[in-house]
Amino acid sequence: MKLSFFLTALLSILLISSCATHEEYPNKWEQIHHLSSTDCVNISGKYNNTGVSSTPGYEPELSWKLFPDYELKNKVTSISFLFQEPEILSITLWNNDEAIYVKDFLKHKNDFYCEDGLIKIKIKKNINREGVLASEWSTLGFSKAKNNLIVKNENGAIGMMFLIPVAGTGTNWYKFEKSK
């Protein structure tokens, strides 16, 4: 009896402290390139690090989304994507005209994959600071619309904040203009 009460109370707290927001692709943005579900769209190009979000008032920084643990991410002004080969996607972080970080993503190691016409990269991060113990994950899906890079961010988190269990999921869209 006590165990079932405890489990019910725990589940109630978790459900109360959970949230979900899933945004649709903005109608005012240019249409994204759709390909077959197994093809990778060519997103090669250099884009501004700061973009526009489907959430009004929020300006996403792509370096923070792709490399959450990279210590110089606040110095990034633009990001370039280049397919070295169909199986190797090279991403470079730039501070003006200086390359400050390069990472190759390998398809055969599942660093990226193609699905629903998007190039997808999975990011995982654990948090243990300031009263928060959590695990956060996201799948970034990349495509193009005209000269812009479009990113679909499907994310979630579960953890505890000051001993209160929390969980949530969300989908957001970001647009990054081609860098000049």
Q: Is residue 82 in a domain?
A: no
Q: Is residue 84 in a domain?
A: no
Q: Is residue 155 in a domain?
A: yes
Q: Is residue 145 in a domain?
A: yes
pLDDT tens, residue order, the chain (180 aa): 566 666 565 555 555 566 777 788 899 999 887 655 567 788 999 999 999 999 888 999 999 999 877 777 789 999 999 998 888 999 999 999 999 999 999 999 999 998 888 999 998 888 888 888 888 899 999 999 988 999 999 999 888 778 778 888 899 999 999 997
Q: Is residue 99 in a domain?
A: no
Q: Is residue 169 in a domain?
A: yes
Q: Is residue 83 in a domain?
A: no
Q: How many domains does the chain have?
A: 1
CA–CA dist 16, 128 (Å, integer): 22
Q: Evaluate whether 100 touches 75 at the Cβ level (below 8 Å).
A: yes
CA–CA dist 124, 137 (Å, integer): 4
What pTM value is reported for the model? 0.83
Q: What residues make up the domain containing 127?
A: 2-72+107-176
